[in-house]
């Protein structure tokens, strides 16, 4: 289709492509394309329109006017403005476009009574100017734009976070309160990290620690543990106490919530590995259900001290992945096998290669020819 209009000027091609977009968007209003059959056509139109835009004989002012018309009549399917149209080297065009957006934004603000900014709501111009402010590392400008459009829980919490970054804590708490008061969907738990940051900024370390334990109990990851440890130290408490309490909590998850995702035993092993306690990770993983990627990580951490256990764990990891029976899983399993082979000492590598060779005889794998082929590519049998 596109080739048939190549002899036309860039501006004439733009008119035809614009017409095609109009037809496509109208069709999608009536057709369910959840299968994504339009994507090939969509990509072809995107590439053609952007190419014509750059080849056009229009001045930069005319190009800005073109983009402005598209912003005024947004379509579901259309290239991103300005990102898809304005290249990094088009500095003059970009500056003119931002000038236009700022002028239009100023007019919108006048029309919407600054005393009631919620009337403005979100607007395509606000997203463009927000991105520009972020690129310019101008948090005060970000706050101006966010304040003019804020009318949801996420808006208020974003403003609170911005004021925390500026260490304007009273203003941060004001917007935090607005976020809490606007919450109608049970999202307030998402504000906990923000409350902790405010406590830390105010030096309220005891309050921050209590909140951090609450956060850890809902999302026990290593980053949250590191924050816990820091707050223990800020409160003059022993590191050992923090470790023991976290370990006890994770062990209780394993005991009381065996079906809870992610697998509680995996959370515990992640914790042990983060603490460089491979011995505890090994002891726990011998008989517990552990995700394959963690078995591989344990194996890599004990190749010097427990090479046989490392081999056993890696076999277990690779087998559990390969039995998923698809080519991606086969490649992933073989990659895990290769990674351990590269770090084992020579005398143990011989033992390891024997174990790898035996995978070809494992009942659940030997009837999977694509896995055997993937294995043969990296671990060929001797002639």
Band of pLDDT at residue 256, cut at 50, 70 and 90? confident
The residue written with tokens 């260490």 in the block is 167
Model pTM score? 0.77
**316 & 280 share domain:** no
Domain count, the chain: 2
Residue 171's φ and ψ, nearest 5 degrees, are: -65, -35
Indicate if the pLDDT at residue 120 is higher than 70.
Answer: no
Range of the domain at 381: 291-383
Task: Give the pLDDT of residue 149.
Answer: 86
The mean pLDDT value for 160-164 works out to 95
Look at 108 and 202; give whichever has higher pLDDT: 202
- Helices 222-234 + 264-274 axis angle, to 10: 60
**213 & 242 share domain:** yes
**236 & 313 share domain:** no
Task: Give the pLDDT of residue 110.
Answer: 82
Indicate if the pLDDT at residue 290 is higher than 70.
Answer: yes
C-alpha span between 142 and 150 (Å, rounded): 12
Asked if the structure places residue 318 within a domain, the reply is yes
Band of pLDDT at residue 254, cut at 50, 70 and 90? confident
The residue written with tokens 């707050």 in the block is 231
List, in order, residues 6 or more apart from 181 with CB less than 8 Å away: none
C-alpha span between 213 and 226 (Å, rounded): 11
Range name among 107-121, 293-307, 336-350 with the lowest pLDDT average? 107-121
Band of pLDDT at residue 365, cut at 50, 70 and 90? confident
Asked if the structure places residue 119 within a domain, the reply is no
**296 & 266 share domain:** no
Asked if the structure places residue 303 within a domain, the reply is yes
Asked if the structure places residue 232 within a domain, the reply is yes
C-alpha span between 319 and 309 (Å, rounded): 15
Range name among 30-39, 112-121, 243-252, 286-295 with the lowest pLDDT average? 112-121
- Domain boundary (253, 286, 319) is at 286
- Helices 169-182 + 192-202 axis angle, to 10: 160
- Domain boundary (232, 263, 286) is at 286
- Domain boundary (286, 307, 340) is at 286
Asked if the structure places residue 357 within a domain, the reply is yes
The alpha carbons of the chain give a radius of gyration, in whole angstroms, of 29
Asked if the structure places residue 299 within a domain, the reply is yes
**334 & 296 share domain:** yes
Asked if the structure places residue 62 within a domain, the reply is no
**349 & 277 share domain:** no
């Amino acid at each position: 289709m596109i080739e048939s209009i190549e002899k036309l000027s860039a501006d004439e091609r733009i008119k035809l492509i614009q017409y095609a977009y109009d037809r496509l968007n109208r069709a999608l209003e009536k057709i369910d394309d959840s299968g994504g059959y339009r994507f090939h056509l969509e990509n072809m139109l995107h590439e053609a329109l952007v190419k014509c835009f750059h080849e056009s004989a229009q001045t930069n002012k005319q190009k800005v006017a073109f983009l402005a018309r598209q912003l005024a009549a947004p379509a579901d399917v259309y290239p991103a403005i300005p990102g898809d149209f304005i290249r990094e080297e088009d500095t003059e065009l970009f500056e003119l476009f931002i000038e236009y957006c700022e002028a239009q934004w100023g007019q919108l603000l006048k029309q919407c009574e600054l005393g009631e900014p919620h009337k403005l709501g979100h607007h395509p111009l606000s997203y463009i100017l927000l991105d520009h402010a972020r690129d310019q590392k101008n948090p005060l400008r970000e706050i101006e734009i966010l304040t003019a459009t804020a009318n949801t829980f996420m808006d208020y919490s974003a403003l609170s976070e911005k004021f925390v970054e500026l260490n304007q804590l009273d203003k941060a708490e004001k917007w935090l309160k607005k976020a809490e008061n606007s919450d109608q969907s049970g999202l307030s738990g998402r504000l906990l990290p923000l409350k902790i940051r405010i406590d830390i900024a105010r030096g309220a370390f005891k309050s921050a620690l209590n909140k951090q334990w609450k956060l850890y109990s809902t999302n026990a990851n290593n980053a949250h543990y590191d924050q816990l440890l820091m707050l223990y130290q800020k409160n003059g408490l022993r590191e050992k106490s923090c470790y023991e309490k976290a370990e006890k909590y994770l062990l209780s998850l394993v005991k009381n919530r065996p079906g809870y995702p992610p697998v509680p035993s995996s959370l515990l092993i992640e914790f042990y590995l983060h603490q460089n306690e491979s011995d505890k990770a090994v002891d726990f993983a011998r008989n517990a259900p552990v995700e394959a990627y963690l078995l591989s990580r344990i194996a890599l951490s004990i190749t010097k001290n427990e090479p046989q256990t490392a081999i056993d764990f890696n076999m277990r990891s690779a087998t559990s992945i390969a039995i998923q029976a698809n080519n991606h899983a086969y490649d992933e399993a073989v990659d895990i096998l290769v990674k351990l082979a590269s770090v084992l000492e020579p005398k143990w590598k011989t033992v390891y290669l024997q174990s790898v060779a035996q995978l070809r005889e494992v009942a659940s794998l030997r009837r999977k020819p694509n896995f055997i082929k993937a294995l043969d590519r990296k671990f060929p049998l001797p002639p």
